Structure 1
Amino acid sequence: MIRFFRQIRQSLLSDHKFSKYVLYAVGEILLVVIGILIALWVNDWNEGRKDQDKRTALLASLSVEFNANLKQLDSVMYYNSRVIEAANKIVTLRPDQAIPPVYDTLREWVANTTWLWTYNPQNGALRSGISSGDVHLIKNDSLINLLFSWEDVVADAGENEKRHIEVQLRAGSIVNPYVRSLSSSGLSYYDLPESDFPSDFHGLMLDPLFEDYIAEVYIHTFDAQDELKLVRQQNVKIIQILERELNRFK
């Protein structure tokens, strides 16, 4: 093809058809420019398609991750609500009501206040997207802001969880002198027998340290639950926007 064009140029020059040669040269330049523009367009199209594939893959991974996080969060909040409920019932129970007929119920409440559930979300896809820079392929400012603030919101909630943990770590030294471990609710799961030694729930209810412990459990679990509600709101928003973004590229 190059040889063909060279022959045309030589023919025009040898015949002294200079004006036609100039027109031909301009046409040849235009063909080259058009060819370059087409090549650039094809390259941009390919890059755009690659970016779209990366964006879709990241959105899908984030959707799986945040749906799993929401499921875990709902479990943690459910058990926190059980702790709050148990602590509230114990606080409203008078010491003289802690007698054998209510032992089974009371020991369940006491055991529930010692539950310790913390929220540990998966952030692998999010961190990978941020470190690789692929997160910036997402052209949704609201989603970007929610994703970048996600770990800070979780960390804020974690501060209340730490205080909650510190309170519950003191439970053993307060509860164990009165309640036998084999009398704790839930041990039947391990197929263990009842304790041969009686638990003293009446004495436990008369101990002011136990009252302090229950009050602290209630307060810190309640505060942790409030923080987790904010985390949940952000988790749900992220999932909703992710679903809308994924539907755009179907």
Structure 2
Amino acid sequence: MISFFRKIRHSLLQENRFTRYLAYALGEILLVVIGILIALSVNNWNEDRKDRIFEKKMLRAAKTGLDQDLDFFENHLIGFRLKTQAEAADFFNRYYLSEKIDLDSINYHFANLAYSFQYSYNRGPFEAIKSAGLDKISNDSIREGITFLFDFYHPRMQGLCNLGIEYRLREIQRIRKTFEVNRSFIIVDSSIVYQPPVPSNIQILDDLDFIHMVGLSYHDAEVQTNNLSQVVIKMKDLKEMIERDLANH
């Protein structure tokens, strides 16, 4: 091909057809420029395609992490641990309203007044995105949503929850010491089963400190459930944005 163009140039020069040669030369330059532009376009398209594939991979990982966190928050923290704590407080509140109580359930719910949880979430996908560069996420709303959730909202709510938990447990431990009678262990099927402390007697249920302990657990369960529910909303909003983005590309 190069030899062919060289022959044309040589022929035009020999025939002293400078104008045609100049037009031909400009045409040849134009073809080279067009070829370069096409090559650059193909290369840019290929790079964009690779970036999008990588972006989708990161977004899928972020969605998977959000799915795991949503299951943990909704089913374990709210649906189990905080529900157990609230049910324990509600058990004693029903006694204050009706003066009737299931004696066999007192020890169980007494122990659950001090039920607690650990606020944790999966930062792995977010850290991977940060490491690769947040600019890899082309959707501004998703990029801002990820940064807001993991760099601000989660740490803030984690701090608030932990403060509430620490205060409640400190108060409950202080109060419970005056009401508990220690139990050592029992033997079941030739195995030793250690028993938790239990209320010393039913009369303590009407003690003002005990009532305060019940109210503290009930209020804490309500506040923590509301806090975690707000976190769940933020996670679901971000997850829906990611799902829409993945579906549209």
TM range (shorter): 0.7 to 0.9
Superposition TM-score, scaled by structure 2 size:
0.83
Secondary structure of 1:192's counterpart equals strand
Mark the CA change 1:15 to 1:181 in structure 2 (over 3 Å): closer, same or farther. farther
Map of 1:37 onto structure 2: 37
Mark the CA change 1:11 to 1:105 in structure 2 (over 3 Å): closer, same or farther. same
Cα offsets for 1:16-65 (capped at 9, x unmatched)? 11122112101111110111011111111111111111111011101110
Question: Which structure 2 residues correspond to residues 118-197 of structure 1 after superposition, within 5 A?
Answer: 118-133=118-133, 135-151=134-150, 152-158=152-158, 159-180=160-181, 182=183, 192=193
Of the structure 1 ranges 144-153 and 200-209, higher mean CA displacement relative to structure 2 is found in 200-209
The alpha carbon displacement at 1:115 in A equals 1.1
Map of 2:57 onto structure 1: 57
State the alpha-carbon separation in 2 of the partners of residues 229 and 114 from structure 1.
21
Cα offsets for 1:61-90 (capped at 9, x unmatched)? 011100000011011012212212321332
State the alpha-carbon separation in 2 of the partners of residues 142 and 180 from structure 1.
56
Q: Which has the higher contact order (CA 8 A, sep 6+)?
A: 1
State the alpha-carbon separation in 2 of the partners of residues 183 and 77 from structure 1.
32
- 1:4 equivalent to 2:8? Answer no
The alpha carbon displacement at 1:15 in A equals 1.8
How much identity, in percent, do the aligned residues show?
26
Q: CA RMSD in A?
A: 2.9
State the alpha-carbon separation in 2 of the partners of residues 29 and 96 from structure 1.
96
Map of 1:187 onto structure 2: none
Q: Aligned partner of 2:161: which letter?
A: N
Mark the CA change 1:219 to 1:199 in structure 2 (over 3 Å): closer, same or farther. closer
Q: Aligned partner of 2:117: which letter?
A: W
Q: 2:204 touches 2:210 (CA, 8 Å); kept in 1?
A: yes
Superposition TM-score, scaled by structure 1 size:
0.83
Q: Which of 77, 89, 92 is equivalent to 2:91?
A: 89
Q: Which runs of 5+ in 2 are unaligned?
A: 186-190
Q: 2:110 touches 2:198 (CA, 8 Å); kept in 1?
A: no
Q: 1:116 touches 1:165 (CA, 8 Å); kept in 2?
A: no
State the alpha-carbon separation in 1 of the partners of residues 52 and 182 from structure 2.
58
Q: Which runs of 5+ in 1 are unaligned?
A: 185-189
- 1:215 equivalent to 2:212? Answer no
State the alpha-carbon separation in 2 of the partners of residues 8 and 213 from structure 1.
99
Secondary structure of 2:180's counterpart equals coil
Map of 2:188 onto structure 1: none
Map of 1:112 onto structure 2: 112
State the alpha-carbon separation in 2 of the partners of residues 91 and 219 from structure 1.
12
State the alpha-carbon separation in 1 of the partners of residues 39 and 97 from structure 2.
85
Mark the CA change 1:150 to 1:181 in structure 2 (over 3 Å): closer, same or farther. farther
